[in-house]
Chains A and B, each alone.
Chain A
């Protein structure tokens, strides 16, 4: 496997990050020339942002996310981020700023992502799509867990910052907002009574662009209108869904 041929233009943090690295014996290659701005190479402008959200198409429909395990969207986003010259704030060069994004991306997997998916499935997808009732106690427990996670999101990550890991939007915010659209699509009013989170959401939407944001979430926001699944599909999906939302 090699992307060696692209090194001249690829945005490769491996060659730029170690300002603090002490390795006197091994000089690092010079950073690649920028693709935008002063000193940029000619070439097609890469619309990095639309690519990010379009490549998350697999998440647009909860069904498609189910078998694949949407965790791969992190790997895909990181790949895109490095391959195309995108603004630094998405996944900063700075070691500590980048570590904050890594920390969020790791934390969210078993917390926010899990609870958002459970809320979607317990509130809407099981009863409406799969025709499987969910007890009020189970639903209440799921929504309570989601609530607790949202509190952690605000208290430990967002705090008084504009975005989750600092003053600028990053991949952390992108991953977070797309997960939060699952319970929103299920009709949960998660931003009600959470003005801080609601303000953050507005900032993220503004940074992404409202039209693009709507487009990316069009399908998930209609989750509760899903027609019932055909029995054969239901049978195939059930074990995978159950495994996904444990």
Chain B
């Protein structure tokens, strides 16, 4: 059995791994996991990843979780162009600097609108307007920092070339867009970055990767989203409670 990637394309870090592997022609078996059907908690999956998280990678007997670790592993193991995770010490450090900030200020924050608008209501939870506004403000602050501190006048987030940092950022930014929050509006610099990045990745690949998430509102409207499995209610409630 070759490389296997356990992914749910509704999830931002899963999409980053998917798009990276595809763009680099890395051969893998896609193992789709549907978080909201409770598949993360199934016996089969917890044997793969006892942390019960996606994305997860299985390479022979070697099992790895955490999108950053997976992306670095793939970029080092397979013949990928240097720019994704450069061997140049300082260029690489810039990526880790971005990823540190991303973990603090982007991860969690940019996922909240989907939870607020679509996922929490599936289990009858409606968040107060105060939290919605607080999240918007946090998103706005993060976008400003993304432009001012990272992107600046560069083509991409950590320099003139696309890196793992750009993928992680793009997939997080797509999440609120999917529920109608067009955060690229009024931000021409960021919009231009997105265009450059998507052109580099390829329109077809972007459509393939983003299709599911960008369709989520339509699915919700047509009541096509399955009811979440009861076993994941605790995970959902915990996640919702983390929205400040």
Across the interface, which residues of B come within 8 angstroms of A3, CB to CB?
A: 88-90
In angstroms, Cα B140 to Cα A1, docked, is 29
| A101-119 to B contact mask, C-beta < 8 Å, 1/0 | 0110111011000000000
Q: If the complex has contacts A1-B159, A71-B104, A110-B103, are A12 and B66 also in contact, measured as CB distance less than 8 A? A: no
**Any A CB within 8 A of the CB of B30:** no
The reply to whether A110 and B108 form a contact with Cβ atoms under 8 Å apart is yes
Q: If the complex has contacts A78-B93, A95-B76, A103-B65, are A72 and B100 also in contact, measured as CB distance less than 8 A? A: yes
Across the interface, which residues of A come within 8 angstroms of B97, CB to CB?
A: 72, 75
The reply to whether B89 and A12 form a contact with Cβ atoms under 8 Å apart is yes
Across the interface, which residues of A come within 8 angstroms of B96, CB to CB?
A: 74-75, 78-79
Which residue of A has the minimal Cβ distance to B49? A156
The reply to whether B87 and A15 form a contact with Cβ atoms under 8 Å apart is yes
**Binding stretch for chain B, among A16-24, A127-135, A182-190, A223-231:** A16-24
Interface residues on A, range: 35 or more
Across the interface, which residues of A come within 8 angstroms of B230, CB to CB?
A: none
The reply to whether B78 and A69 form a contact with Cβ atoms under 8 Å apart is no
Choice from A4, A18, A103, A242 contacting B64 with Cβ under 8 Å: A103
Chain A positions 88-110 with a Cβ under 8 Å from a chain B Cβ: 95-96, 98-100, 102-103, 105-107, 109-110
In angstroms, Cα B91 to Cα A3, docked, is 9
The reply to whether A99 and B64 form a contact with Cβ atoms under 8 Å apart is yes
Which residue of B has the minimal Cβ distance to A103? B69
**Any B CB within 8 A of the CB of A10:** yes
Across the interface, which residues of A come within 8 angstroms of B91, CB to CB?
A: 1
Closest beta carbon of chain B to A109's beta carbon, Å: 4
In angstroms, Cα B134 to Cα A242, docked, is 12
Closest beta carbon of chain B to A80's beta carbon, Å: 10
Chain B positions 59-92 with a Cβ under 8 Å from a chain A Cβ: 62, 64-70, 72-73, 76-79, 82, 86-92
Which residue of B has the minimal Cβ distance to A96? B62
The reply to whether B100 and A4 form a contact with Cβ atoms under 8 Å apart is no
The reply to whether A21 and B77 form a contact with Cβ atoms under 8 Å apart is yes
The reply to whether A21 and B50 form a contact with Cβ atoms under 8 Å apart is no
**Any B CB within 8 A of the CB of A82:** yes
**Any B CB within 8 A of the CB of A83:** yes
Closest beta carbon of chain A to B93's beta carbon, Å: 4
Choice from A1, A4, A74, A105 contacting B94 with Cβ under 8 Å: A1
Across the interface, which residues of B come within 8 angstroms of A242, CB to CB?
A: 244
The reply to whether A79 and B103 form a contact with Cβ atoms under 8 Å apart is no
Closest beta carbon of chain A to B123's beta carbon, Å: 21
The reply to whether A23 and B72 form a contact with Cβ atoms under 8 Å apart is no
Across the interface, which residues of B come within 8 angstroms of A10, CB to CB?
A: 89
Across the interface, which residues of A come within 8 angstroms of B77, CB to CB?
A: 18, 20-21, 95
Chain B positions near chain A (C-beta within 8 angstroms): 50-51, 62, 64-70, 72-73, 76-79, 82, 86-94, 96-97, 99-101, 103-105, 107-108, 138, 159, 242, 244
